[in-house]
A = this chain, B = another copy of it.
Amino acid sequence: MKRGQIQTHITRTRVLRHIRESVATSRIEISRALSMDRSTMTHVINDLIGDNLIREEEGLSPRNSGRKPVMISLNGDYGMIMGLEIQPGFYRMTLMDMAGAIRERSMGSHDFSLPADMVSAAIDETGGKGYPPLLGIGLALPGTVDPYKGLLIESPALDLCDYPLTDMGGIPLVMDNDANCFARFVLSGEAREAGNMVCLIGESHRYGRTGLSARDDIGIGLVINGQIYYGSHFTAGEPGGSPFYPRALARLDKSEESAYLAALFRYLENSLYLLDPEVLHIGGELVNFDRKDLDLTSLIPPGCSVEYGKEDNFEISTGAAHMFRDRLFSPVLPGEEKTIIDAIRWENLPGYGRRSDS
């Protein structure tokens, strides 16, 4: 980073965001999108190229007259991001480069009681494979998580309380609830536009099982105006205090799956009306459920559509990776280096220099 001011940092971040959101773009296109001068873009882009964050490409140029633009795209080899989902007894991992391309995925069982040990093992596992340097880690955990402090507040599934983890030997780490990571996965895809979503997952707490049992759980990630909503005590999306609570259900056999879903949606009905989301996303184990004789139209508000995830079940770990990757595309304000910054509001933007006074 050549020039040191905060304004530069914000502009660089805005440019990087635009490049991330378009497959390939040009200096002029970015300058138009951000309402800035072409010459400004020349400076910013050349600085970013100098820092190895982006690169010029020989790319396609759909023009019928005039000079062809020099295409710009993110430099995937700048570094790697690891996304890790840890459940009791098993894990899933997604290794992603800075351009967002998935380079490797794996899953398996584990015996670790502390997430840090599992993370450490995953880092060792991918260490000697010649990947670009590891920039950071996104961690998805079942339970109540404070992602700003990097604290697992409570997790009955993992049998942990007030468990902090903010880095692994200098490599920064961010954590969030698994349902929220699923929501981040959905946000990273087509649903990138700022919108409102309810993201519902069923989390199996035993490796290899499908379907849910009494030890398992459902989780809800809420997206409000394009951002994860945590609530006032990081328990937003956690069902509770209700006559219907999935945890109380005994093991289901196949014939009951459809009835389970129907009961679940009746439980959610009021909240869906109140929240007025654009779409309800369903992922995790619930996708595997038999839903042939289930008609949701009567249980879901008129303007709300339903989407089922694909069944590869790596959505949560991939969303965890996206959580850290998003940090690279957010400005870091002085004094808030350690937190997840989803969206800075203009009211909080600091002055552009350092003040001469305390």
Contact with B along A324-358 (1 / 0, CB 8 A): 00000001000000000001111101110101111
Cβ of A129 < 8 Å from any Cβ of B?
A: no
Q: Is the CB of A350 within 8 A of B35?
A: yes
Cβ of A40 < 8 Å from any Cβ of B?
A: yes
Contact with B along A224-257 (1 / 0, CB 8 A): 1100011111111111111000000000000000
Cβ of A154 < 8 Å from any Cβ of B?
A: no
Cβ of A38 < 8 Å from any Cβ of B?
A: yes
Cβ of A113 < 8 Å from any Cβ of B?
A: no
Q: Is the CB of B35 within 8 A of A355?
A: yes
Give which listed residue, B32, B236, B276, B331, contacts A355 with CB less than 8 A: B32
Contacts of A234 in B (CB 8 A): 276
Give which listed residue, B241, B276, B346, B351, contacts A231 with CB less than 8 A: B276
From A80-88, A164-172, A203-211, A263-271, the one touching the partner chain is: A263-271
Q: Which residue of B lies closest to A279 (CB)?
A: B232
Contacts of A271 in B (CB 8 A): 270-271, 274-275
Q: Which residue of B lies closest to A242 (CB)?
A: B270
User: A275 and B233 in contact (CB under 8 A), knowing A32-B355, A346-B345, A357-B38?
Assistant: no
Assembly CA distance A357 to B36 (angstroms): 9
Number of interface residues of A (CB under 8 A): 61
Q: Is the CB of A220 within 8 A of B274?
A: yes
Give which listed residue, B242, B273, B346, contacts A240 with CB less than 8 A: B273
Q: Which residue of B lies closest to A28 (CB)?
A: B357
Give which listed residue, B239, B270, B274, B331, contacts A222 with CB less than 8 A: B274
Contacts of A36 in B (CB 8 A): 351, 355
Q: Is the CB of B224 within 8 A of A241?
A: no
Contacts of A35 in B (CB 8 A): 350-351, 355
Cβ of A107 < 8 Å from any Cβ of B?
A: no
Contacts of A267 in B (CB 8 A): 270
Residue of A238, A241, A344 with most partner-chain B CB within 10 A: A241
How far, in Å, is A130 (CB) from chain B's closest CB?
A: 35
Residue of A31, A222, A238, A273 with most partner-chain B CB within 10 A: A273
Cβ of A100 < 8 Å from any Cβ of B?
A: no
Cβ of A10 < 8 Å from any Cβ of B?
A: yes
Tell me the A191-222 residues at the B interface (CB within 8 Å).
195-196, 220, 222
Contact with B along A121-165 (1 / 0, CB 8 A): 000000000000000000000000000000000000000000000
Q: Is the CB of B357 within 8 A of A235?
A: no
Cβ of A301 < 8 Å from any Cβ of B?
A: yes
Cβ of A291 < 8 Å from any Cβ of B?
A: no
How far, in Å, is A25 (CB) from chain B's closest CB?
A: 15
Instruction: State the A residues within 8 Å of B (CB).
Output: 10, 14, 17, 28, 31-32, 34-38, 40, 195-196, 220, 222, 224-225, 229-242, 267-271, 273-278, 299, 301, 303-304, 331, 343-347, 349-351, 353, 355-358
Q: Can you list 11 A-B pairs, Cβ within 8 angstroms, ordered by A?
A: A36-B355, A196-B236, A224-B224, A232-B276, A232-B277, A235-B276, A239-B273, A240-B273, A241-B269, A271-B274, A331-B346
